[in-house]
Chain A
Amino acid sequence: MTTNNTGQQVESLREPGGGGDLTVKLTRVVDLSLVTMAGMTLNDYLQRVQGCFYHQNGDGLADLISFRDPHVMSSRLMLEKPERDVERCVDPSLAEFIAGHLRAVWAAGSGDCVEAWKTQMVIVQAVARFMQELKEERWMLPIMYTACLDLRLFALAADYELTRSGTSKAGETLEKSAEALMSCFRVCAADTRTGEDCTKRWGLLYLVNQFFKIYFKINKLNLCKPMIRAIEALSFKDRFSLSQLITYKYYTGRKDMFDSDFKSADSTLSFAFQRCHIGSRKNKRRILIYLIPVKMLRGYLPKQSVLERYNLSEFHDVVASVRQGNVRLLSETLAKHESFFIGAGIYLILEKLKILAFRNLFKKVYHISGTHQIEVAMFLQSLKWMCVEDVDLDETECILANMINDGRMKGYISHAHRKVVVSKKDAFPPLTAC
């Protein structure tokens, strides 16, 4: 969910893993002047472009090359070879990407997303060159944002199309798009000599977010590292707009999660969740999908009300089973919602919650037994009751040894006597302490 440059709420239709329908995307903009814009003539368009350029109106110019603006519906702007006309009316530095945009409108209008993507690649590179020519200015950054966003969106559609027809491997168009985005990245990153208020480095975070989206889609998280380093090196990294910061934190939090750095993931994702606008329900839900497992591993279980509000019923049984120590229910739930969890990439982390479930189960056994010296056979019995297959005394001891090793239980096992001796005070330290 993003606000485009004129303040309209525009939904990003890119669900993880889905290819999108180009025409659906085009019709989603809610704007009162839809009808008039949809009939815009070429001259009118070019005049507006020239006007924005003259007044250094970055946002206006960005709208004029954006596919979320209703002007793309105008059939008079769907021109396959608009170079001549554009050159006549518009400043030479803009001509290439304006002409490119019109060609892209033509391609999109005829439904050819691959051609639209290829054209957009040329546009992005032209925008990079345009930016490089204008030193010590950053009014044109919105143009870069729009061009890069459109490139990524077209790349997703083209990737879907090309993979379906077998012409190329999945993710190839995205990789190539990442290379094109690199050209913009280099222009922005290299702008180190100018003052803070007019440096192009303000555009870096938006670009890095686009890179994250691509790399997460093609599963190449290791390529994110140099991006993160580049952002962390900026002196004004905390003064970017909140929306960009939240997106950044969301992705770096997810990356930390994959690197098993749960402490850092917790703080990053919590920041993103708390600062995310209350109305962006979908985004908050996406953050929660990753925040909940991380928090649970650290010992904090979410309330039922939270799960209901954000429509995350899949987690309900997971939470209940961990709380009760119900290992069987946990296994069943993981199997039941396997596709959802695997799709989000959290299946492996949720599996680790089994250890917490064991801990809670064994804590109950300890309370039931009432003594500090508990037979291993009692634990075994509880595991059998939980329908853990094929478990014997040795395996029970193994689970217990791991628990002691992790600090979730204080005590020791006597192999010869097949007993567990737990500490008299605080045999099961609270989960949040680890």
Chain B
Amino acid sequence: MFRKGRRDGKRRHSSTDSEDENKGFIRLNSKRGRSPMNTGNRGKGKKVKGKNNKTESHFYSKHGRMSLDPEFSTSERLQKRAARFNAGGVGGPSPGPQRKKKQLNITKTISNTFTVDGDDIDWTSMHIVGTSTAMEKPYLRLTAAPDPSTVRTVDTLKRSLECIKRQWVRNQDYRYACDQLKSLRQDLTIQGVRDGFTVQVYETHSRIALEKGDHEEFNQCQSQLKQLYCEVGGENTLEFIAYRLLYYIFTKNTLDITSLLAGLTMEQKQDECIGFSLKLRAAWSLGNYHRFFRLYRTAPKMAGYLVDWFADRERKQALRAMLKGYRPGSLEVSFIRSELALGTQEEWQKFESGISLVYTDVSKTKIDCTYGMKHGKGDAASCRNIPFSGTYGMKHGKGDAASCRKLLLGIRLWNNSLFHVHPELFQCPAVFQQQQQFQSPPISEAVFQPSRRPTVPDCSRQAEFQSMRSQS
């Protein structure tokens, strides 16, 4: 099937928009034995061949315009599907003669049961060749065979990919990049192109999804990549195997972890990325947070982005164990930060804002382990009631942003240490200004070379990605 694809690839490159060329295609199709239509429709049986005789191949009929093949969405196909169910399903008792007719040919029943699925459109049997040279194209879900003039040529797609990459580096517009890449992938699927270029496209999309934290898209791309690597191979197979293992840790999918481990060879285990993933997995399965976060700091290539997705979950668990293990007593925040790889102030604040910790002192350098960890926004005490004395640290509540502003600013300026600030309070311009100093540097071209990320991760945008997907 794939060899056929490549052969067609050569023919495809010589295609143009002219009708004559398309007629040329029709001529080819009329050669019985070699027509892709016929060979592709092996399973479909006699009916399709019959149709061929009458109106030539459906897809290139009518001056190269592809009219929607009636067989695809309507009666005949439905009938065929129905016939399959009759042959394969539990029908009621049928009258004698009809049974005899079915009985007559078990071979036929078998071939009916094993026809190509009615639901999946078998793109490889259609051999659509694109003709469009548009650089940009929005993504639209297809339910039927498309018009070749809307499908782009492989050359165009290559140029389009470079264009998308440039745009990405410049704007960081995930929505745009994702949309363009999806339509790029679709054009490749329609034309049955599965080669090194396809691998490149999927790798690019995976990397972008990795960076932005789009779990679902990443999973889609990497499962396609898994198949492509088996068929076509690629330079980055080991890297992506490592990402796959990390993804399984993220989804806690022990079954797939076992099968992945089963499939690894000794040489593969020596690879930098895979070795890292294996060590991380071992640390994770034993709850060894010390080793886990130590490895996390030195994650190779883009593995760090993936571990970001579940780093907080592991941190919370680790912190729980720590609070129990050192109870009663207290723990230096600096120690916790070094154990949990929360190096920067911003990271610590972000982590801390999701849980409520109890400090031993006002300067918040030590955490009181007697009290466990609570998730969430804490109690409803407003920010006005900040107990400066006493053993309890500050808990957030919704409070009144405006009235908190002065107070917070005052406190913040006075004490530049750890502080959980309610996200709402960032509305305050002065507080926001303070935050600006923690802004990350712009992302460079380096993102397309596997490298350690420079930014602070943001994994909280799943809902946004979901809505993007449901709209397309």
**Interface on A for B, CB 8 Å cutoff?**
81, 83, 87, 92-93, 95-96, 99-100, 103, 118-119, 121-122, 125, 128-129, 132-133, 180, 183, 186-187, 219, 221, 258, 339, 342-343, 345, 347-348, 351-352, 354-355, 394-395, 397-402, 404-405, 412-415
Contact of B286 with A354 in the complex, beta carbons under 8 Å: yes
State the main secondary structure of chain B at its contact with A: helix
Residues of chain B within 8 A of A352, CB atoms compared? 285-286
B255 on interface, CB distance cutoff 8 Å: yes
A103-B106, A348-B285 known; A342 vs B113 contact (CB < 8 Å): no
State A118–B88 Cα separation when bound (angstroms): 12
Collect the chain A residues with CB atoms within 8 Å of residue B329's CB.
Answer: 412, 414-415
Q: How far is the CB of A189 from chain B (nearest CB, A)?
A: 12
CA distance A219 to B102 in the complex (A): 36
Among candidates B100, B254, B328, residue contacting A87 with C-beta atoms closer than 8 Å:
B100
Cβ B106 vs Cβ A99 within 8 A:
yes
Give the complex CA separation of A122 and B108 in angstroms: 10
Residue of A nearest to B331 (CB): A415
Given contacts A96-B99, A412-B325, 17 further A-B contacts (CB under 8 A): A87-B103, A99-B106, A118-B110, A125-B89, A125-B113, A187-B90, A258-B254, A352-B285, A395-B291, A397-B290, A398-B291, A398-B318, A401-B322, A412-B326, A412-B327, A413-B326, A414-B329
| Sample of 30 A–B contacts (CB below 8 Å) | A81-B107, A83-B105, A96-B103, A96-B106, A103-B106, A118-B110, A119-B110, A122-B106, A122-B113, A129-B91, A180-B88, A219-B255, A258-B254, A258-B255, A342-B258, A342-B262, A343-B262, A348-B257, A351-B286, A352-B285, A352-B286, A355-B286, A395-B290, A400-B325, A402-B286, A402-B288, A404-B321, A404-B325, A413-B326, A414-B329
Could you say which residues of chain A place their CB within 8 Å of the CB of B41? none
A413 contacts B325, C-beta separation under 8 Å: yes
Given contacts A125-B88, A183-B88, A405-B320, contact A219 B259 (CB under 8 A): yes
Given the interface contacts A183-B90, A221-B255, does A415 sit within 8 Å of B321 by beta carbon? no
**Is there an interface contact between B113 and A121, defined as CB atoms closer than 8 Å?**
yes
Does B109 touch A at the CB level, under 8 Å? yes
CB atoms of A342 and B321 under 8 A apart: no
**Which A residues are in CB contact (< 8 Å) with B402?**
none
For the complex formed, measure the closest distance between the CB of A234 and the CB atoms of chain B, giving whole angstroms: 21
Smallest beta-carbon distance A40→chain B, Å: 21
Closest 6 CB pairs of A and B: A401-B325, A398-B290, A405-B321, A395-B290, A404-B325, A405-B324
Complex alpha-carbon distance, A395 and B322, angstroms: 12
The number of residue pairs between A and B whose CB atoms lie closer than 8 Å in the complex comes to 128
Q: B288 contacts A395, CB within 8 Å?
A: yes
Q: Decide if B90 touches A186 in the complex (CB within 8 Å).
A: yes
**B176 located at the interface, meaning its Cβ lies under 8 Å from any Cβ of chain A in the complex:** no
Nearest-Cβ distance from residue A353 to partner chain B, whole angstroms: 10
* Measured CA separation A405–B323 after assembly (Å): 9
* 304-345 of chain B: CB within 8 A of chain A: 318, 320-322, 324-329, 331-332, 335, 339
B93 within 8 A of A: yes
Question: Do the beta carbons of B258 and A347 come within 8 Å of each other?
Answer: yes
Closest partner residue, chain B, to A420 (CB atom): B325
Rounded to whole Å, the gap between the CB of A185 and the closest CB of chain B is 11
Of all chain A residues, which has the CB nearest B96? A92
Partner of B110, one of A92, A122, A345, A414: A122
Do B100 and A401 have beta carbons less than 8 Å apart? Answer: no
Q: Which residues of A contact B288 (CB under 8 A)?
A: 395, 398-399, 402
Q: How far is the CA of A412 from the CA of B100 in the complex (A)?
A: 81
Query: Chain B residue with minimal CB distance to A86?
Result: B103
Given known pairs A118-B110, A122-B106, A347-B261, the reply for A401 and B324 (CB within 8 Å) is yes
Bound together, the chains give a CA A103 to CA B109 distance in angstroms of: 12
B289 in the interface, Cβ–Cβ < 8 Å? yes
Is B104 among interface residues, defined by CB-CB distance under 8 A?
Answer: yes
**Which residues on the A side are within 8 Å of B331 (C-beta)?**
415
In the bound assembly, the distance between CA atoms of A258 and B258 in angstroms comes to 11
Beta-carbon contact of B90 and A397 below 8 Å? no
Give the contacting residue for A402; candidates B89, B107, B109, B287; CB below 8 A: B287
Quick check: A132 and B106 within 8 Å, CB to CB? no
Quick check: B326 and A415 within 8 Å, CB to CB?
A: yes
Q: How far is the CB of A166 from chain B (nearest CB, A)?
A: 10
Determine whether the beta carbon of B325 is less than 8 Å from that of A405. yes
Shortest beta-carbon distance from B281 to chain A in Å = 9
What residues of A have a CB within 8 angstroms of the CB of B286 in the complex?
A: 351-352, 354-355, 402
Asked if B114 is an interface residue, CB under 8 A from chain A, the answer is: yes
Task: Check if B468 is an interface residue, CB within 8 A of chain A.
Answer: no
Q: Which residue of B90, B324, B328 contacts A129 across the interface (Cβ within 8 Å)?
A: B90
Indicate with 1 or 0, residue by residue over B87-126, a CB within 8 angstroms of chain A CB atoms: 1111111001001101111110110011000000000000
Return B406 CB to nearest CB of chain A, in Å: 38
Are B89 and A183 in contact (CB-based, < 8 A)? yes
CB of B407 within 8 Å of the partner chain: no
A133-B93 in contact (CB<8A): yes
A125 and B90 form a contact (CB under 8 A) = yes
Q: B325 to chain A: which residues have CB within 8 Å? A: 397, 400-402, 404-405, 412-413
Residue numbers in A under 8 Å from B256 (CB-CB) = 219
- Interface centre among B89, B282, B290, B322, by most chain A C-beta atoms within 10 angstroms, is B290
Closest B residue to A119 using CB positions: B110
Report Cα–Cα, A412/B331, bound state, in Å: 12
* Interface-central residue, A128, A399, A401, by most chain B CB under 10 Å: A401
Residue of A nearest to B287 (CB): A402
Q: Which residues of B contact A187 (CB under 8 A)?
A: 90
Nearest CB in chain B to that of A403: its residue: B325
CA–CA, A83 and B113, complex, Å: 18
Q: Which residues of B from 38 to 89 have beta carbons under 8 Å from A?
A: 87-89
Given contact pairs A87-B103, A92-B96, A401-B322, A412 touches B258 in the complex (Cβ within 8 A): no
**Chain B residues within an 8 Å CB radius of A415:** 326, 329, 331-332, 335
Among A100, A125, A355, which residue has the most Cβ atoms of chain B within 10 A? A125
Partner of B103, one of A95, A219, A348: A95
Query: Which A residues are in CB contact (< 8 Å) with B113?
Result: 118, 121-122, 125
Closest chain A CB from B210 CB (angstroms): 25
Which residues of A are found within 8 Å of B106, using beta-carbon distances? 81, 83, 96, 99-100, 103, 119, 122
Instruction: Point out the residues of chain B lying under 8 angstroms from A398, CB to CB.
Output: 288-291, 318, 321, 339
Say whether B254 contacts A348, CB under 8 Å.
yes
Interface digits, B222-253 against A, CB 8 Å rule (1 contact, 0 not)? 00000000000000000000000000000000
Least Cβ distance of A177 to chain B in Å? 12
Task: For residue B320, give the distance in angstroms from its CB to the closest CB of chain A.
Answer: 7
Q: Which residues of B contact A125 (CB under 8 A)?
A: 87-90, 113
List A contacts of B261 (CB < 8 A).
342, 347
The residues of B that contact A395 with a CB separation of less than 8 Å are 288, 290-291
- A304 and B327 CA atoms in complex are apart in Å by 41
Closest Cβ neighbor of B332 among chain A residues: A415
Question: In the complex, what residue of chain A is closest to B289 when comparing beta carbons?
Answer: A398
| Central interface residue in A342, A355, A397, A398, by most chain B CB within 10 Å | A398
Q: Inside 8 A of A118's CB, which chain B residues have their CB?
A: 110, 113-114
> Shortest distance in angstroms between A141's beta carbon and chain B's nearest beta carbon?
16
B326: chain A residues at CB < 8 Å are: 401, 412-415
Smallest CB-CB separation from A346: which chain B residue? B258
- Compute how far the CA of A414 lies from the CA of B282 in the bound complex, rounded to whole angstroms: 27
A235 to B443, CA, bound (A): 63
A93 to B100 CA separation, bound complex (whole angstroms): 11
Q: A320 to chain B: closest CB distance in Å? A: 20
Query: How far is B261's CA from A343's CA once the two chains are assembled, in angstroms?
Result: 10
Using Cβ atoms and an 8 Å threshold, which residues of chain B touch A354? 286
- Chain B residue nearest to A221 in the complex (CB): B255
Per-residue A-contact encoding for B454-469, CB less than 8 Å = 1, 0 else: 0000000000000000
B residues less than 8 Å from A404 (CB atoms): 321, 324-325
- Residue pair B90, A132 in contact (C-beta under 8 Å): yes
Q: Which residues from A are CB-within-8-Å of B87?
A: 122, 125
Please indicate the chain A residues that have their CB under 8 angstroms from the CB of B285 in the complex: 348, 351-352
A272 to B107, CA, bound (A): 43
- What is the bound-complex CA distance between A347 and B282, given in angstroms? 11
